[in-house]
Amino acid sequence: MLLIIGFSLVIIFGYLLSILFVERMCLFERMGLSFLLGFGVFTLFMFCYSTFGVKITLQSTLLALTFCILIAILIAKALKRKILADFNLSRPLKAIFNLSHLETILALLIGSLGFGSLLLTTYFPVYIWDALALYDFRGKIIAQVGYYTQIANNYFWFGGYPLFTSLSHTLIYIFGGSNPQFLYTFMYISFILIFYSALHEFVSRKITLIMSLILAATPVIFDHSTFAYTNLPYAIFLALGSIYLFVWFFKKKPVGYIILSAVLTGLSTWDRSAEPFWAINIIILGALLIFRFKKYLLPAIIYIISFLPIREPWNLINYYFLTDSTAAKPPLVLAEGGSYVTTLLSTRLEPDRIKEIGIFIYQNVIISWFPLFFLFLFCVLINFRGILRKTSTSFLVVISLYFILLLYATYMYSFGIAYWNTIPDSARRMAMFFMPLMIFYIGLSFGDLSPGKKK
């Protein structure tokens, strides 16, 4: 019972956050965001107050949750947001009853995959090695001791990854649960709900359901929904960050979508901080500023202001409290971005190494995307005629930027780590986020992009 209460309070907090960001949206999308934002933002808050000496216990966690919920309600009242506006069930029920036979089958297949994932995660305990040795281990230790920063140096590799997964596990243990693995099924289901809602902004319901089924049935996505690794939440947060930026730009959505994009991208760094892919959305906003400075200056500022409080706490605490300050890395995104640019400009390109990197990426990453990658290339080809006039082309540019950064990051990584080409599994898992982006592009390509003709 306590687990249900605690779990519900975290989701209520996430729901209120989503209301503060965007007042009106699809109920299914709201449900998915409530889970992701609730656990993402609250675990970051736990990390911050624990660092300042507040012990993580059942009492302090419930008190912190209550405090966050009350503050969110007060802000919502001040902004005159209707907290229960999306709980008008007439529209989703009408949509469900109006499904065609094919759409009903597609929806049932998606639901079956979600149910199957839930059966696996509730039956099997945490069992994957990295989860046992690090993610879940940290969650158990923090639940027992009540701190992270104060004890991190006592354990080897304890500070290797940010704490989103571990503190999410801690919450389950604090609330009396014994197996936190079901959280990854909820991430998976939340992702599908949000993906469906975002893609349906552009294409018909039938195409959206087909693409959502492809996403849910993609083996690596489904597989990672059944065990406690960082890769699925990283792929979810990063992909949704770019998708929301795309929706904001092409659907002229309110500025809350920029905040959602920034927060979700920031949460990807709260899950995995070493990868530089968070920079892509900032690069895109920088490009928009070049073309329409006055129009996009405020959204760019809002994005940075929303992104920094999510990304920087882990950097600041991990580099200044847990390591020698003389070896600390630049704490600010702008400084870190500047160091990337400086490194890029000063790096001498080696053709043989570039060829080696290309072969490694193809053999160990791109091949793992088959057969989805063939469908993606097919969509690129059929959209080639009149490509500059298609909405999907802009999203193709986003994917291309990610791929260029993947090549560059691997190239730079190869200079610092001698055994870089002996860990292909790590590269595949790190690049998981490309698959939902490709599926979103495929949906845009096959869909009727005219809002007036959308079914």
Q: Which two tokens stand for residue 363?
A: 């053999």
Answer yes or no: is pLDDT of 453 > 50: no
Answer yes or no: is pLDDT of 350 > 80: no
As a whole number of angstroms, the distance between CA 94 and CA 104 comes to 13
Q: Which two tokens stand for residue 190?
A: 């939340």
Task: Return mean pLDDT, the chain.
Answer: 87
Answer yes or no: is pLDDT of 14 > 60: yes
pLDDT of residue 333: 52
Answer yes or no: is pLDDT of 418 > 70: no
**More confident site: 199 or 339:** 199
Confidence label for 247 from pLDDT (cuts 50, 70 and 90)? very high
pLDDT of residue 86: 64
**More confident site: 186 or 95:** 186
Confidence label for 158 from pLDDT (cuts 50, 70 and 90)? confident
pLDDT of residue 446: 85
As a whole number of angstroms, the distance between CA 437 and CA 199 comes to 11
pLDDT of residue 451: 45
Q: Which contacts of 336-343 are long-range, i.e. CB under 8 A and separated by 24 or more positions?
A: 337/279, 337/282, 340/276, 340/279, 343/412
**pLDDT tens for each residue of 88-121:** 666 666 677 778 889 899 999 999 999 999 999 9
H or E segment at 128?
none
Best CA proximity match to 50, nearest among 328, 314, 320: 314
51 in helix, strand or coil? helix
Residue position matching structure tokens 């939440």: 233
Answer yes or no: is pLDDT of 37 > 80: yes
DSSP state of 326: G
pLDDT of residue 401: 95
